[in-house]
Amino acid sequence: MTIAVVVFPGTNCEHDAVHALTLLGADAELVWHRETDLDDFSGIVLPGGFAHGDYLRTGAIARFSPVMAAVTEAADTGKPVLGICNGFQILCEAGLLPGALIANRDLAFICKPIHVRVESTNSILTSAATVGDVLRIPLNSYEGNYIAPPQDLATIETGGLVTLRYCDENGDVSDLANPNGSTNNIAGISNARGNVAAVMPHPERAAELILGSDDGRRLLEGFVAATKTSSQTNSVAAS
Amino acid sequence: MKFRITIERKPGLADPEGKATIRSLHDLGYTDVQHVSFGRAIVLDIDSTDETAALDEVDAMCQQLLANPVMESYRIERIG
């Protein structure tokens, strides 16, 4: 089955996502944000960019795009849903993930490779990785600074829902290795079930050595594997 | 009738714009400034003659779209 890569007006990383997923042996196709039926897809990616110009707040208008009802339904039924960068912001606005993303601590757009450490493997994004893996992946955002109200933060931390944290090349998580001021160096989170996950840096831009790193594969491989399991479950249910 | 919605970051949450601005104000000698927080204002012109109903409508808009309850609070005032 095919993975849907959703395109909003202003999305700009959709081709990178399709390319990387195709490299990993998956079928992926672009789906316009006005689509209302995603039943035929085995997984969904909300890629990076500036959906609806990022007006009002990042992701705020995108969450009311017609496709989002189908994304929410897919998330509720356990299908893999992955948000990258702007997709992370949209999933938070939609309430599918807790918290919010605000302007970077130093009010600068950050575009550079950074390191993240795998904190949990109970999500579609990290299931093919090992806790403690240090990955080098590009960060490319202005609103990448993760915040959450104290009670949500406690739930995220105690529930093991932090999938990735910013770190240095040795895997040390510190203020110095925090590029954007994210609370507790959070770079990626998932829901409790693990089928909805989001990451601020771009694994799809680190899927080939010619791009400087193929560490992103370790994340996307988990996602692709999850979409295969999901489509098997669906075809069993259908037969 | 016109309404102004003022949206502010909830206290205790990070506010990088506020932090950068207070640093600059202190550098300029305004050392008595204790806190700077950033928000934004949205002005709506509503075709209505019933202020209470219009206020309820604007409140619903804030909850649904205009403010993010995770990190923002808002207040609504009639300005025309």
What pLDDT was estimated at residue A144?
97
Q: How far apart are CA A44 and CA A31, in angstroms?
A: 10
Q: How far apart are CA A102 and CA A108, in angstroms?
A: 12
Q: How far apart are CA A29 and CA A26, in angstroms?
A: 10
Please report, to the nearest 10 degrees, the dihedral formed by the alpha carbons of residues B10, B15, B17, B19 taken in order: 120
Segment A152-172, tens digit of pLDDT? 999 999 999 999 999 999 999
Average pLDDT score over chain A = 95
User: Strands across the sheet with B39-45, in order?
Assistant: B39-45, B2-9, B72-78
Q: What confidence tier does A239 reach under pLDDT thresholds 50, 70, 90?
A: very low
| Structure-token pair, residue A96 | 């599918």
ipTM exceeds 0.90: no
Q: What is the mean pLDDT of residues A131-147?
A: 97
Angle formed by the axes of helices A216-238 and A14-23, to 10°? 80
Is A238 an 8 Å CB contact of chain B?
no
| Distances from the Cα of A135 to the Cα of A13, A43, A92, A219, angstroms | 20, 24, 24, 9
Answer whether A147 sits within 8 Å of B68, measured CB to CB.
no
Segment B3-62, tens digit of pLDDT? 999 999 998 888 899 999 999 999 999 999 999 998 999 999 999 999 999 999 999 999
Instruction: Select the residue of A57, A105, A106 nearest B68 (Cβ to Cβ).
Output: A57
What pLDDT was estimated at residue A238?
52
For A151, half-sphere exposure in the C-beta direction (CA atoms, 13 angstrom radius) is 2
Q: What is the mean pLDDT of residues A87-94?
A: 98
Q: What is the mean pLDDT of residues A88-100?
A: 97
The alpha-carbon gap from A106 to the nearest alpha carbon of chain B, in Å, equals 7
Whether A236 shows a pLDDT value over 60: the answer reads: no
| Structure-token pair, residue A29 | 């196709």
Q: How far apart are CA A21 and CA A96, in angstroms?
A: 23
For A117, residues 6+ apart whose C-beta sits below 8 A from its C-beta are A132, A133, A134, A135, A164, A165, A167, A171, A173
Whether A231 shows a pLDDT value over 80: the answer reads: no
Tell me the percentage of chain A whose pLDDT exceeds 90: 95
Q: What is the mean pLDDT of residues A87-93?
A: 98
What pLDDT was estimated at residue A233?
67
Chain A: residue nearest B10 by CA?
A149
What pLDDT was estimated at residue A178?
98
Segment A99-124, tens digit of pLDDT? 999 999 999 999 999 999 999 999 99
Q: How far apart are CA A42 and CA A26, in angstroms?
A: 10
Q: What is the mean pLDDT of residues A36-47?
A: 97
Instruction: Select the residue of B12, B20, B65 nearest A64 (Cβ to Cβ).
Output: B65
Is A59 an 8 Å CB contact of chain B?
no
- Say if CB B43 and CB B9 are below 8 A apart: no
- Say if CB A127 and CB A43 are below 8 A apart: no
DSSP string covering A5-49, please? EEE-TTB--HHHHHHHHHHTT-EEEEEETT----TTEEEEEE-SB
Whether A69 shows a pLDDT value over 60: the answer reads: yes
Q: Label residue A69 exposed, middle or buried (CB < 10 Å: 0-12, 13-18, 19+).
A: middle
Positions of A annotated as catalytic residues are 85, 202, 204
Answer whether B14 sits within 8 Å of A181, measured CB to CB.
yes
